[in-house]
Amino acid sequence: MAVDSMNKKQGKLKLYTIFHKGLNRTKYTVNGNHNWGVEPLLLGLEYNTVEGLVVSVYPYYNHYIKKLKTNFSFEPNLRYGLSNTHLNAWADITFRTRDWETDKKVKRQAWTFSGGKRVSQFNKNNPVTTLANSISTLLYGDNHMKIYENYYGSVNFSKRYEEGLRINVNALYEDRIPLSNTTDFVIFKNNTKYLTPNFAYKDTIPYAAVAHQAFIISFDISIKPGQKYIQYPNRKMSLGSNYPTFSLSYTKGIETIFGSDVNFDKWRFSISDDKNLKLAGMLKYKAGIGGFLNNKKVFIQDYQHFNGYRVIRASEYVNSFQLARYYDNSTISSFYAYGHLEHHFNGLLTNKIPLFKRLNWNLVGGGNAFYVNGKNNYFEVFAGLENILKIFRVDFVAAYSEGKTTTTGIRIGAGGILGGSLTRGGNNRRSSIKL
């Protein structure tokens, strides 16, 4: 009776809501629940100069298998470009287990199998959001997003341990296909002169627009020691740790396997943390080093990229460079270093100013930098106010890059009750696995 009641409580389907709200339904059963739906269709609309108007559909299905204490998810993706008339379709299948339900230890693992034909940015971190690129292209002729098609298959294994240890192993094959612009439509015709080719490289980067294959294996490990937990009857919940997170990754491109053309070895080590300084505010930082041990044959997709950003809407401050160009500083150097620092003062200073205290605006500031060599380095500082109307954040940013003049800009993001920045990551939707 309880199961039937929960099923009826969801109400009737209203198909018109699929455009702005999507659909999300759950079928409750004694043997496990079935959850299915579709992301809002409006979120699947975008525009770029390669595909033209893009229509994407993101359905999903999740089923919790009670006997196996395993969650199964199926996420197909459909994408069609009206200008280049290319149809792309791919899917992710994930099995996620939660061992803590039986042995009361925090041990979670997930297997994800993916494959099909998709469109990808050259920088797999997806620094250019679809909304930002659509607006900047249509209004100003700034087509920042650079993409390629690829037939691919991948297997990913992730596991989290109670001690704060996480591991991730991935095997990826891509048949990479270059793409060219097929439309120059912009709202203001004079802005067509600013449109750039679909190339994500400088003149010094070879192989950029060449079709090729890649077989890549990567290994990531991170640990946050000193984890504390609260014990519930059937599980434990993490209370965090006083120590930072240490991460190490290694990626190898293997030549000849499945016709692969790549041959490289690269590594990265980083340390990051969010520190609650109580009355002094919140400090966030991330710093790292890395490089290529072998760079015999590296295509632009496998370079070390620094997440630039060139639109007024802010990206994540502790993971990107607000005024850097997207691919100008990409490298295959044997060594590089980077750092991000952001401090939220939370009224430490502004509460002493009557007007700011009444408005409840808070000061925020920090800096971002990376170093490759004497000719390839970058530094920026920013300062601003957040919690404007309890939502917005506005920063002034000044940046310096070797051999270039100092640049300045304004970035608008989200702060206060929302926190972070007004960004929507590429595939951070539906049942994305986070261990």
Model confidence over 51-75: pLDDT tens digits?
Answer: 999 999 999 999 988 888 889 999 9
Which tens digits make up the pLDDT trace of 375-385? 999 999 999 99
pTM for the structure as a whole: 0.88
pLDDT of 307 over the 70 cut: yes
Q: What is the pLDDT of residue 233?
A: 65
Asked which of 11-15, 124-128, 424-428 is least confident by mean pLDDT, the reply is 424-428
Which tens digits make up the pLDDT trace of 83-93? 999 999 999 99
108 vs 220, more confident: 220
What does the DSSP assignment read for 20-82?
Answer: TT-EEEEE--TT--EEEEE--GGGGEEEETTTEEEEEE-EEEEEEETTTTEEEEEEEEEEEET
pLDDT averaged over every residue in the chain: 88
pLDDT of 417 over the 50 cut: no
Q: What is the pLDDT of residue 7?
A: 57
Work out the average pLDDT over 118-123.
96
pLDDT of 97 over the 60 cut: yes
* Residue extents of the structural domains in the chain: 2-414
pLDDT of 1 over the 80 cut: no
Share of the chain above pLDDT 70, in %: 87
Which tens digits make up the pLDDT trace of 274-283? 999 988 999 9
Find the radius of gyration of the CA atoms of the chain. Answer: 23
Q: What is the pLDDT of residue 404?
A: 79
Q: What is the pLDDT of residue 61?
A: 97
Q: Give me the residues paired with residue 266 across strands.
A: 251, 292
Which tens digits make up the pLDDT trace of 182-240? 999 999 999 999 999 998 766 556 555 789 999 999 999 999 998 887 777 666 677 77
* Residue 114: closest CA among 96, 95, 87, 93: 93
**313-319-321-327 Cα dihedral, nearest 10 degrees:** -100
Q: What is the pLDDT of residue 424?
A: 39
SS3 279: helix
Question: In the CATH scheme, what is the code of domain 2-414?
Answer: 2.40.160
pLDDT of 360 over the 50 cut: yes
Whole-angstrom distance, CA of residue 178 vs CA of residue 211: 6
Share of the chain above pLDDT 90, in %: 65
Asked which of 27-31, 239-243, 280-284, 315-319 is least confident by mean pLDDT, the reply is 27-31
Residue 132 in tokens:
């930002």
Q: Which residue has the tokens 């996620």?
A: 96
pLDDT of 306 over the 60 cut: yes
